[in-house]
Structure 1
């Protein structure tokens, strides 16, 4: 059936309406396209930081594996539990990914407090607070130990059982290490969730050999390893006591002659027997040893003797016996905790026990 011409004109769009329809379609298409681009761009911008972080940031497990050796070493040498040191480092540094850790190698959030070294300013409890800056993360781990050892309010920590990480966590909070009221609980949770206590056991295991070892004097600004020279022999200093290292062929008499000292002085300063034979590499003190050490205690190893420990830390042997309530002549058992600071008993008690 043929439609009338008028009807055909009514249904057929004219050129103007077609142009309008095309224009509207283009606008709608461009709006949809632009909206889609914006959504994709927003998603990309949202995800990009996460992608970068996943490629560059250290994971928690990687962090533990990287710093477990220095934590074990510091527990053995200074008495700070490896589990506590790792948990604090994880928490304070965001396992190595915080601004302080990245820009200042500061993994424990230690502020300047008269620090003579490099500094870094960062917004913390107050705007632009001064924090210590280190040349590498290991220096931060070592300085954390020194920080705890040299602040009297942390001294009670070193009277705790070295494996009692819960007591240490609460002790740190009570001593004011952090302002977070749940600081102790957070440390304990980190230790237990990631089994950091296993590194405490490794530190106490005399058969566990560290794959990496770090020298404190490489990082500590307070250590002087070459206090002076006399002839061709270097005079070092430890625990504020001058010493020399015995060489092959050295005797008490030869060192005394070289340094213009009396043999009796060297024998007395070092708790030597009159007929003591020097061994190459042995530390020989040129001044009286101290009553206490720089670190709180020493974990005895197989073959350790009280004499060797007294020479290692520059402590008079009689003070070492008194601090540990031991009869003169007794030797430590492997794994025994030998106090180098703290309780010393009485002078009368010591001589009462001495045969």
Structure 2
């Protein structure tokens, strides 16, 4: 009898252990997972070798010198136009544009089309952006396109009494203009005149003053800075005697406004030999 009881208890224990079998823990990875050693980034733009390069990484960025030349090529026409209309040397306009906008790459130029660092002032009713400058969170003017910034710059200088003495200077005297702007309070930087003059002389910007004044020299006709740096010659049209914006726009199936926007023109004035982007 004792043997039967012992056998019965043993069978019950075996059955009990089977019914309380612990959950299985597995170290097997999910289906489709495969371990691979991470690829070490060695390129300067932090993209791995396994990633196809984007367009921005395959195109070589412009150097500061090239960006400045491209800026001059893009805006020399509007600068010369403003010199004719308002009497501000084209060289000064371009130098200020380069300096104030970082050759078009600065925050204000990129986000607000403001190329001259012009603040809102009390009379400004247009769009605005805010940026730290001499004081935190200062108000700056925002434009829909860069040519409006160039026009507003001209209107600012011609409309404020403190700049009146500048217009009594000899036309094209960029050194006197650079010093006069600082004295009139355009900028607080004591080296502002030297910076403007440096840009003008490094990039021969006074050639544009001489074009407007009809004083181009043989040396200046051979300058290395092309009026349309980086623009395909097949996209340009050279103005001939008798051409008007209307006639040129019709020739290339554009509206006058489209032609003006392509070339940052703020008026309809043209001169023989001027090159316009038409494509």
Determine whether 1:37 maps to 2:31: no
Deviations 1:269-315 (A, max 9, x none): xxxxxxxxxxxxxxxxxxxxxxxxxxxxxxxxxxxxxxxxxxxxxxx
CA distance in 1, matches of 2:74, 2:165: 29
CA distance in 2, matches of 1:214, 1:99: 23
CA distance in 2, matches of 1:141, 1:185: 22
Alignment match, 1:137: 146
TM superposition score normalised by structure 2: 0.58
CA distance in 2, matches of 1:148, 1:51: 43
Deviations 1:173-199 (A, max 9, x none): 111111111100000000000000000
Q: CA deviation at 1:59?
A: 1.4
Query: Per the alignment, do residues 60 and 167 of structure 1 end up closer, same or farther by CA in structure 2, a change over 3 Å counting?
Result: same
Q: CA deviation at 1:214?
A: 2.3
Alignment match, 1:214: 266
Alignment match, 1:204: 213
Instruction: State the SS of the aligned residue for 1:117.
Output: coil
Matches within 5 A, 1:91-110: 91-110=99-118
Matched residue count: 181
Alignment match, 1:86: 94
Q: CA deviation at 1:50?
A: 8.4
Alignment match, 1:113: 121
Alignment match, 1:147: 156
CA distance in 2, matches of 1:164, 1:94: 24
Alignment match, 1:54: 61
Matches within 5 A, 1:231-246: none
Alignment match, 1:172: 181
CA RMSD, 1 decimal: 3.2
CA distance in 2, matches of 1:112, 1:95: 21
Alignment match, 2:171: 162
CA distance in 1, matches of 2:57, 2:199: 24
Alignment match, 1:13: none
TM superposition score normalised by structure 1: 0.46
CA distance in 2, matches of 1:157, 1:199: 19
Deviations 1:156-178 (A, max 9, x none): 10111111100000000111111
CA distance in 1, matches of 2:75, 2:131: 24
CA distance in 1, matches of 2:99, 2:173: 19
CA distance in 2, matches of 1:50, 1:127: 35
Instruction: State the SS of the aligned residue for 1:120.
Output: strand
Moved over 3 A (4+): 48-53, 206-213
Deviations 1:126-154 (A, max 9, x none): 11110000110000000000001111111
Query: Per the alignment, do residues 45 and 175 of structure 1 end up closer, same or farther by CA in structure 2, a change over 3 Å counting?
Result: farther
Instruction: State the SS of the aligned residue for 1:59.
Output: helix
Query: Per the alignment, do residues 203 and 182 of structure 1 end up closer, same or farther by CA in structure 2, a change over 3 Å counting?
Result: same
Instruction: State the SS of the aligned residue for 1:121.
Output: strand
Structure 1: tracts of 5 or more residues without a match: 1-29, 217-355
CA distance in 1, matches of 2:57, 2:179: 35
Highest relative contact order (Cα 8 Å, sep 6+), 1 or 2? 2
CA distance in 2, matches of 1:169, 1:111: 20
Mapped contact 2:109–2:115 kept (Cα < 8 A):
yes
